[in-house]
A and B are shown apart, each in its own frame.
Chain A
Amino acid sequence: MNQQNRDEFVSLIQQNIGIIYKICNIYGGAFKDDLKQEIIYQLWKSFTSFKGNSKFQTWMYRVALNTALFESNREKRKFAELNPSYDIADHSENPEEKVILVNQLYRHISKLKKIDRAITLLYLEKCSYREIAEITGLSEKNVGVKLTRIKEKLRAMFERQNH
């Protein structure tokens, strides 16, 4: 790949680096950095195949999630104990509390099955059902059914945590 390709790739990754960090937080456990490197490496390897037919983000979610699912066998969960625990319904305006809430959410998502984690992330990233279906290979209807179940599971986890 030429210099122009490389510059374009680096710029696109920089703009969307948040996607990689989120996926690493969900799948990487104690090996987030290793997973981050592998995802960027696999994205680079697949970059020539990106023809702009789909949105860059959709393509990136697909390659990055597949890498997380198929390349990361090492998964030791390592989450710091969170204290105090905030109620998700509190709607805090404090940025620090938002970080704690997001961390709580990561902790709960990490307890889901690997496939469900991918669907949850895509949902949180405001991907449409159609995009989620495209990335996972499920039907849109099946995505809806799965999301309902996942939400129920997450709600139960938050309830257990707050009682």
Chain B
Amino acid sequence: MKTINNLFDFWEEGNRELFKNNDSSNEMIIKIINRSSRSTSFYFGFNILFYSAFILACIILVSMNLPMYAGNPVVRSVLIAQMVLCILFLSYGMFMFAKFRETKNYRKSITELLAGQLRFYKTYNDGWMVFSTLAVLILIFNLNIMVDYNNGIYPIYNKSLYIAINIAIFIFIYGIQKAGSLFNQRKLRNYLSDLESGLYGNTLKMEKQRKWQTVAFIVLFVVLTGVLILGILKSLESAN
């Protein structure tokens, strides 16, 4: 242990020597603080904003379809229900964005941050993934009824197939999002476990598993894409 304690003797001086040519000018610092963030959290925030824009598009489409299908009580009820859902999803998106910003409060201790982020992924984000996936389905439905408009009638010839395709799309989009979220949760859980239990190996084990998770993610993506394509082919087949 004595040798490790000797680290103090050269740590500061060695570092000074190591970084003596590094840029620490005013200009460099000012340039950085004037830019915008390109961090992973920036992309996550972007994801929330992207889906919120998606939901907004749904609201616009539903409000365009409503007068077209005013004479069809079934479609009209469905559209009103979708409009209410979309407004609720959008409000949830804004709430999520605020909650997400809270999890990025880097003034907290590492333990507090980890616990907060884990809570966020396990609760708020899970709901958001379901809602954003439903918004995609609502958008597809509204695009279909707009394109196939026929005097206020929207016939579904094969109901079970229609439901199956919608379920396949839901599983596909939700599955992809969930896989990414599970990986994040796992990483945070392992950090927290490393901190609190003092046991060795969690994050190191995770790093080794990372490759397998990537493979599993690709397999899941291929399978779900296959299910989606099969569903579309089946629907085309039955339409013909």
Chain A residues with a Cβ under 8 A of chain B: 6, 9-10, 13-14, 17-18, 21-22, 25, 34, 36-38, 40-42, 44-46, 49, 59, 62-63, 65-67, 69-73, 87-89, 91-92, 95-96, 98-99, 101-103, 105, 113-116, 118, 124, 126, 134-138, 142, 145-146, 149, 151-152, 154-155, 158
Contacts and interface: CB of A to CB of B under 8 A. Distances in A.
Interface residues of B, number: 49
A114 B7 contact: no
Most buried by B among A36, A92, A95: A95
B184 to A, nearest CB: 9
Given A17-B24, A18-B15, A151-B1, A135 B107 contact: no
A146 B39 contact: no
Contacts of A22: 15
Most buried by A among B6, B16, B109, B110: B110
Interface string B95-109: 000000000101111
Q: 10 nearest interchain CB pairs?
A: A137-B111, A137-B109, A102-B14, A98-B14, A66-B106, A44-B33, A17-B24, A71-B39, A113-B203, A63-B106
Contact of B4 (A37, A49, A88, A114): A88
A100 to B, nearest CB: 8
Contacts of A65: 110
B106 A98 contact: no
A143 to B, nearest CB: 10
Interface in B75-133: 104, 106-113, 117
Nearest to A124: B11
Contacts of B110: 65-66, 69, 115, 118, 135-137
A115 to B, nearest CB: 5
A102 B1 contact: no
B236 interface: no
B113 A70 contact: yes
A8 B96 CA distance: 34
B10 A113 contact: no
A122 to B, nearest CB: 11
B160 interface: no
Interface string B12-56: 011111110010101001101101011111000000000000000
Interface in B122-179: none
Contacts of B203: 113-115
Contacts of B200: 113, 149
B204 A99 contact: no
Contacts of B38: 34, 38
A117 B214 CA distance: 25
A116 to B, nearest CB: 7
Given A14-B24, A38-B37, A124 B8 contact: yes
Contact of A42 (B10, B26, B106): B106
B237 interface: no
A138 B30 CA distance: 34
B73 interface: no
A10 B30 contact: yes
Contacts of B106: 42, 46, 62-63, 66-67, 70
Contacts of B33: 6, 9, 40-41, 44
B51 to A, nearest CB: 21
Given A101-B14, A102-B11, A105-B11, 11 more contacts: A10-B26, A21-B19, A40-B29, A62-B109, A101-B10, A102-B15, A118-B110, A138-B195, A138-B196, A151-B4, A158-B3
Contacts of B202: 113
B191 interface: yes
B199 to A, nearest CB: 10
